[in-house]
Amino acid sequence: QLQKVKNDLEMVLSTVRSKNKQLEEDLKREEQWYEEQKQMVDTLNKIEEETNTQVEQTSTKSEFDELKSKILKLKTYKKELLSALGEFVDEHFPPPEKGENTKKMKFSAEPAVELITLQEILEILINKLMTTPHEPYVTINESFWPPYVELLLRCGMVVRHPEDSNRMRLRAFHE
């Protein structure tokens, strides 16, 4: 009987050992599968992050392209406005003739400097405002025809410098 019990126990032991061995192999496979799944999740997370940064860069790039197109449209619009202003000024405010300046000056038959047109005065003022908005004042010199300066002042298009009456700038219409 003892012998039979011993044989039965050895069989059970053998079965348990084989079951343990099989379980250990299953455990190793499961651990390997777990590691592969973990690596896959890490890879997918990296791909997701890269995609998100690309989307952000793309949206930033598209915003940049959008701003670029808006700037081009504004520049085109500015050119159209300047040409329309030039046509209007040429039609309604012809350039000063040489004789007009000498009517008041009895001592000189020819003006000392060539007078600039109203369009050129406006271009100077606009360009000064665009290039140096922190210091938009232009010094009025002899080439500025006084009736044009007076016209701009009376229409409220320009204002004089508070401390120097020989300087003027475009009025800030947006304020």
63-105 tens-digit pLDDT: 788 888 999 999 899 889 888 888 888 888 877 776 555 445 5
Q: Count CB-CB contacts under 10 A for residue 89.
A: 19
Please give the share of the chain, as a percent, with pLDDT higher than 90: 45
Q: Where are the domains of the chain?
A: 1-57, 59-93, 113-174
pLDDT band at 111 (very low <50, low <70, confident <90, very high): low
Enter the tokens of residue 14.
């053998």
d(CA 158, CA 170) in angstroms, rounded, equals: 4
Q: Please check whether residue 139 is in contact with residue 169, taking contact to mean a CB–CB distance below 8 angstroms.
A: no
Q: What is the pLDDT of residue 43?
A: 92
> What's the predicted TM-score (pTM) here?
0.52
pLDDT band at 42 (very low <50, low <70, confident <90, very high): very high
Q: Please check whether residue 109 is in contact with residue 102, taking contact to mean a CB–CB distance below 8 angstroms.
A: yes
Task: Specify the range with the lowest mean pLDDT, choosing from 4-8, 10-14, 90-94, 157-161.
Answer: 90-94
d(CA 23, CA 16) in angstroms, rounded, equals: 10
Handedness of CA 52, 53, 56, 58 (dihedral sign): negative
